[in-house]
Chain A
Amino acid sequence: MRKRYIVLTAYIVFLLLPIYWLINMSFKTTNEILGGFSAYPREFTLDSYRTIFTDPSWYGAYINSITYVLINTVISIVVALPAAYAFSRYRFLGDKHLFFWLLSNRMAPPAVFVLPFVNLYSAVGLFDTPWAVALAHTLFNIPLAVWILEGFMSGVPKELDETAYVDGYSFPAFFIKIFLPTISAGIGVAAFFCFMFSWVEMLLAKNLTSVSAKPIVAAMTKTASTSGYELGLLAAAGVLTLIPGAIVIYFVRNYIAKGFALGRV
């Protein structure tokens, strides 16, 4: 029994160490970070955080990121819901092939799409807007959302649909009032994965923006090269980047396991 705890504790320490070190660094001055090894901040400072919350080029980057992530999540879910319903309820020519093809979209590396996207969005005037990133990310997120939602929808017996029609519900009324609340867990899980992919994806986000829509992932790498080493600032930005994900995962933690059980996450 004792042994098991030791292994588990060692594993958790191993996992949490980099996160602790990031937090640790974010409260240090850059001089202290570069000066030597210290397990906790000797000169505790909130300067890094103060800079981020007052400098528009920092907090603006967060707002940009949050904007395109939210747009992307909403588009992905809204588009994926009817598609997933069709895949789960109807049989049509080539449905299984189409379903698999959707998923295979996710297997392409984002780098492949950088060039066409940049060229395309420049041509239509979307370059350097949150919409550019949001739309680019739907290429990966809609297939994922369809895949996850289809699993949850197929877990709802089709007799529920029929009962609603028998009771007099029209299709839209049934879908919104009964079906969506029934699969709300699935929507939560799908939204979580769309959110996380879009939040951490860097290549497309960085290349599809320049100044006005620069996301936080791009801002973080840039600062490292321009004004020398501002490691404290970067660490603070890193900590703040972790927080939204932590908040979202808190809300869907109970449903994620269900998604895994359905084999869809």
Chain B
Amino acid sequence: MALELIDIAKRVGSETHIHPTSLVLPEGSFNVLLGTTLAGKTTLMQIMAGIQKPTSGTIRFRGKDVTGLAVQQRNVSMVYQQFINYPNFSVYDNIASPLKVAGMDTAEIERRVMAAAELLRLKPMLKRKPSELSGGQQQRTAIARAIVKDSDLILLDEPLANLDYKLREELRDELPKLFAGRNAIVVYATTEPSEALLFGGNTATLHEGRITQFGPTSSTYRLPKDLLTAQVFSDPPINTTRVEKRGDKLHVFGSKVWPAGQVGSGLPDGVYTLGIRPHHVTPLPTDVTTGEIEGRVLVTELSGSESVIHLDVAGDTWVSQSHGIHPFEVGSHATLHVDVDRGLFFSPSSGERVS
């Protein structure tokens, strides 16, 4: 009882948009597709919806093969990054349109539209045209249209990306509540790792048309299968460096020596790629930091309660993200402290996580 993609691939001309991919989305689940622009999120969603046909592979829904089924025959909804509404319809008619096409009777349509409008706080705007609404309200209208018809599959393609900060926060809080208690499979595409973490559910990380990992969001984040997954699922980007493990020491940057720590000690001696997330690099030493890096400060971004420091360490850029305000002068020499125990060890050849 789920949506199954079996060896789905998509090629357009000589370009491969989606490499053969298999994915099973359980019923009632909230799934995040996480990847950079052009990673293939939209293509994958359009294949799920039936707007595009896969070049090869099978799509099954509730056990039934739906690969060749036209999008009109599937019970799906979709919300786009751009605010897509029918410009010549009022907000009411926009929300009601999938129900009208389905031939539902007027009283039932009205009941459902009112319920959806209530949920998305659109009641005062029902008579207006989409062009008379703010961006946030336009996107609410699109979302109302997506939830009004009890779809089996709801696809949200970066729905918050074009909204300004406040509206985004607001709608981000509301979204999970809208889908809770529905039996629909929700797929949410985003470029922001923080959104995936906020929503929970499952996360599939996409990189250049490949799903690198799919699983519960927290475990995908904590235990990425490989370096690519860790890179996709980290913002600011994860710091990586070549380390040579000898005994209980890690030799870093040719000069520094760090203790191998709890994770590294168990590994056989050899060369590894070590990944350290930016928030495990701090300007001040703490109880857990065991390693140090030195370099030249490139940029410091100070937000209200957070400092992001970019450090040039022997040609590599390292990023530290920490609480509190830590002003460093650009160009000055600085020492940052690394929580080596939280590091992820990858095989330098295959990129797979070994720790």
Q: A: which residues have CB within 8 A of B? A: 157, 159-160, 162-170, 173, 178, 181-182, 184
Contacts and interface: CB of A to CB of B under 8 A. Distances in A.
A167 B88 CA distance: 16
A167 B98 contact: yes
Contacts of A181: 87-88
A contact patch SS: helix
A160 B72 contact: no
Contacts of B84: 157, 159-160, 163
B82 A165 contact: no
Contacts of B87: 181-182
Given A159-B82, A173-B101, A168 B72 contact: yes
Contacts of B86: 160, 163-164, 178, 182
Highest count of chain B CB atoms <10 Å: which of A157, A159, A168, A169: A168
Nearest to B49: A166
A157 B102 CA distance: 24
Given A157-B82, A163-B80, A169 B88 contact: no
B210 interface: no
A182 B80 CA distance: 18
A162 B97 contact: no
Contacts of A160: 84, 86
Nearest to B88: A181
Interface of B: 46, 49, 51, 70-72, 76-78, 80, 82, 84, 86-89, 97-98, 101-102, 142, 145
Contacts of A184: 88
Given A159-B80, A166-B78, A182 B98 contact: no
Nearest to A162: B51
B80 A165 contact: no
Q: Is the interface of B mostly helix, strand, loop or mixed?
A: mixed
Contacts of B77: 166-167
B297 to A, nearest CB: 43
Contacts of A166: 49, 51, 71, 76-78
B102 A165 contact: no
Contacts of B89: 178
A118 to B, nearest CB: 44
Contacts of A167: 77, 97-98, 101, 145
Nearest to B76: A166
Contacts of B97: 167, 169
B72 A163 contact: no
Nearest to B12: A91
Contacts of B72: 165, 168-170
B10 to A, nearest CB: 16
A183 to B, nearest CB: 10
B82 A168 contact: no
Residue with the highest number of chain B CB atoms closer than 10 Å, among A159, A160, A164, A167: A167
Given A157-B82, A178-B86, A182-B86, A162 B101 contact: no
Contacts of B76: 166
30 contacts: A157-B82, A159-B82, A159-B84, A160-B86, A162-B46, A162-B49, A162-B51, A163-B78, A163-B80, A163-B84, A163-B86, A165-B70, A165-B71, A165-B72, A166-B51, A166-B77, A166-B78, A167-B77, A167-B98, A167-B145, A168-B101, A169-B72, A169-B97, A173-B101, A178-B86, A181-B87, A181-B88, A182-B87, A182-B88, A184-B88
